[in-house]
A and B are shown apart, each in its own frame.
Chain A
Amino acid sequence: MEQDGRRVFIMTCIGGVAAVTAGAVAYPVISYLAPRQGKDNSAAVIIPEKDVPPDGAKFFQYHGKAAVVVRKKDGSVTALSAVCTHLGCIVQWEAQKGAFVCPCHGGQFSTEGKVLGGPPPKPLELLKVTVANGVITVG
């Protein structure tokens, strides 16, 4: 009985040491492997107005994700997330159709992000955009 107690005590001690060692090894390794925090990407993105011609679109990184600013025929500008809401592919701008088309499964979105066809369940996320003094500011 006393021997069983000792055995349990020793096994508990060994288990404790093993757990602490595993933690001491795992912590640096997991920290090393964890995705790196990029530079501050919460700031607004500034794009010169001349970079977005009428009926044209410009893709850029916004908060770590792909986004797009598009100028419609009437000259107004919208900014949207370029990530398809179906399976996360990046939509392409098709000027002739005046719509965004996802190359993966053919989802189609209007310049306002609304679903025009295909499997996407939700519209593209609209981003805040302002135009002033020849500069487009997203965010």
Chain B
Amino acid sequence: MTLVRKLYDWVEVRLGISQVIEKEMTGYLLPRTINNWYSLGSVLLFAFSLQVVSGILLLIYYVPDADKAFKSVSVIMNDIPFGWLIRLCHAVGSNLMVATLFLHMFSVLFMGSYKKPRELQWVSGFTLLNLVMGISLTGYLLPWSQLSFWATTVATNSVGAIPVVGEYLVEFVRGGKLVGPPTLGRFFAVHVAVLPLVIAGLIGAHLFFLKRTGISAPPTSNDLPGPTCQGSVYHYEKHQGGIPFFPNFFLHDMTSISIYFACLLGVVFFSPYLFFTPDSFVPANAFQTPAHIKPEWYFLANYQILKIFPSEIIGLTVQGAGMTFIALLPFVDRGDGRYPLKRPLFMVCALGGIALFIALSIWGHLS
């Protein structure tokens, strides 16, 4: 008997690992018609892990002090062996993670997987999207460049449009009247401690909901009309005769993760400054606002909405209403059908919404 086998048996006697593997891996059945869109959740889990690991590595050399932050990032990029790789993986990774989150939500949207009994998955997923955008925004300030400084000034300024408490909120968020060293301290704490913990906890809840309801089967045109979940009693959606998670779907997951990783490294190696502007390479100067300061691509639509409306509060209200509608979608769209081509009204609204988001983003970029 080999040493590995002995070790396995030792653990097996104590923890019953084979039972766990049977239940969660080889015996965990998924629908036969499952497709690669379902592996985006695993891609996101990988992307988040990569952000955590690269973020921890960056913490070793990054100095969260307004006088030293920019210099420390320059040292990471230029002096530390492979510092550029770690930092670019983190910066590019954050953008790709948001893009993958959008794709994941679109796939859930078009396959109608947000419907009963998976409302909690949708709400937790949508909250995760917003938290990831929040962690990206707070991380944006940390290099303490002109772009960081002024993008944060503009972003935090929007909060001031809230009636009565707006001005106080802006000051509270910034830790002062203007963006400055206290803002860096606050954003640093939120970026490296608060949001990662909240996101990790919510990912746990998201996966728990997934495990309890069972994975949804992709909708087909042959689906019988009627709800997939009936009655008021808890029901787990089994897929008898389906494919096992391991090794069948695990290979799908690994394929998608490899494609994601290839895209990430492709940008890092061949277009490393795709998500950087010239202002990213100039240290923050509180007395000189650069021309045409723009937020990250995923905030461009929000930025343009604020510019369209003459009153900032109306712009914020429109965005708030839109976000609330998306968050509560499973409670608004309560029809039974999930096959997208049999839901014309939904398709018009969903495609129209995505087209509007893209158009506003392009407009924001060009304006």
Question: Which residues in A have some Cβ–Cβ distance to B below 8 Å?
Answer: 28-29, 31-34, 36
A36–B81 Cα distance when bound, in Å, is 9
Q: How large is the interface on B (under 10, 10 to 19, 20 to 34, 35 or more residues)?
A: under 10
Asked whether B80 is an interface residue with its Cβ less than 8 Å from the other chain, the reply is: yes
A29–B81 Cα distance when bound, in Å, is 9
Task: Across the interface, name the chain B residue whose C-beta is closest to A28.
Answer: B82
A33–B57 Cα distance when bound, in Å, is 8
A36–B78 Cα distance when bound, in Å, is 13
A31–B81 Cα distance when bound, in Å, is 6
Asked whether B86 is an interface residue with its Cβ less than 8 Å from the other chain, the reply is: yes
User: How near does chain B come to A119, taking the closest CB pair, in angstroms?
Assistant: 35
Asked whether B85 is an interface residue with its Cβ less than 8 Å from the other chain, the reply is: yes
Question: Which residues in B have some Cβ–Cβ distance to A below 8 Å?
Answer: 57, 60, 79-83, 85-86
A119–B328 Cα distance when bound, in Å, is 72
A32–B82 Cα distance when bound, in Å, is 6
List chain A residues, Cβ under 8 A from B57: 29, 32-33
A72–B193 Cα distance when bound, in Å, is 54
Q: 22 A-B contacts, Cβ less than 8 Å apart?
A: A28-B81, A28-B82, A28-B85, A28-B86, A29-B57, A29-B82, A29-B86, A31-B81, A31-B82, A32-B57, A32-B60, A32-B80, A32-B81, A32-B82, A32-B83, A32-B85, A32-B86, A33-B57, A33-B60, A34-B81, A36-B79, A36-B80
A112–B57 Cα distance when bound, in Å, is 45
A32–B85 Cα distance when bound, in Å, is 10
User: How near does chain B come to A31, taking the closest CB pair, in angstroms?
Assistant: 4
Task: Across the interface, name the chain A residue whose C-beta is closest to B57.
Answer: A32
List chain B residues, Cβ under 8 A from A31: 81-82
Task: Across the interface, name the chain B residue whose C-beta is closest to A27.
Answer: B82
Task: Across the interface, name the chain B residue whose C-beta is closest to A31.
Answer: B81
A114–B83 Cα distance when bound, in Å, is 45
List chain A residues, Cβ under 8 A from B81: 28, 31-32, 34
List chain A residues, Cβ under 8 A from B79: 36
List chain A residues, Cβ under 8 A from B85: 28, 32
Task: Across the interface, name the chain B residue whose C-beta is closest to A29.
Answer: B57
User: How near does chain B come to A93, taking the closest CB pair, in angstroms?
Assistant: 33
List chain B residues, Cβ under 8 A from A36: 79-80
A71–B284 Cα distance when bound, in Å, is 49
User: How near does chain B come to A41, taking the closest CB pair, in angstroms?
Assistant: 17
List chain B residues, Cβ under 8 A from A29: 57, 82, 86
List chain A residues, Cβ under 8 A from B86: 28-29, 32
Q: A29-B57, A32-B60 are in contact. List 8 more A-B contacts (CB 8 A).
A: A31-B81, A31-B82, A32-B81, A32-B82, A32-B83, A32-B85, A33-B60, A34-B81
List chain B residues, Cβ under 8 A from A32: 57, 60, 80-83, 85-86
Task: Across the interface, name the chain A residue whose C-beta is closest to B76.
Answer: A32
User: How near does chain A come to B51, taking the closest CB pair, in angstroms?
Assistant: 15
User: How near does chain A come to B145, taking the closest CB pair, in angstroms?
Assistant: 22
User: How near does chain B come to A32, taking the closest CB pair, in angstroms?
Assistant: 5
User: How near does chain B come to A19, taking the closest CB pair, in angstroms?
Assistant: 16
Residue among A31, A32, A36 facing the most chain B CB atoms (10 A cut-off): A32
A36–B79 Cα distance when bound, in Å, is 9
